[in-house]
Amino acid sequence: MSEKTSDIDISYVAYLARLGLTEAEAAQFSAQLKDILKAVEKLNELDVTNVEPTAHAVPLTNVLRKDEVQPSIASADVMRNAPQQARGLFIVPKIVEQG
């Protein structure tokens, strides 16, 4: 991973994250992330071949519960937090091109 840290394409990563950055932020984060990634390269010292990854510290698998109908939060209570809504629906900018 060492060769690649210098060329982190901040605008591409910001695009993947759907995160708008100002030019000043992009420049500042680029420099800081370079330092952080350099520090993270310490992991290169470790030989982790044949080591299983840990996703969760508590080894629980396939936790299931009965599929029962239960009361849930009322739609009106949920919609109260919506920035834009009408008739119980969230309003968003147009997604599909007009045909």
CA 93 to chain centre: 22
CA distance 25 to 99: 39
Q: Report yes or no: 8 and 33 within 8 Å, Cβ to Cβ.
A: yes
Q: What are phi and psi of 92, to 5 degrees?
A: -130, 165
> CB-wise, 1 or 69, nearer to another protein?
1
Query: Is the CB of 48 or the CB of 86 nearer to another protein?
Result: 48
Beta-bridge partners for 89:
86
Phi first, then psi: what are they for 61, rounded to 5°?
-130, 145
Closest distance to another protein from the beta carbon of 39 (Å): 6
Q: Give the shortest CB-38-to-another protein separation in angstroms.
A: 9
Name the residue with tokens 């109260």. Answer: 80
Distance in Å, CB of 56 to another protein, minimum:
5
* Chain contacts with another protein (rule: CB under 8 A): 1, 4, 8, 10, 13-22, 25, 28-29, 32-33, 35-37, 39-43, 45-46, 48, 51-58, 60, 63, 65, 73-74, 77-78, 80-84, 90, 92-95
Q: Closest separation between CB of residue 84 and another protein, Å?
A: 7
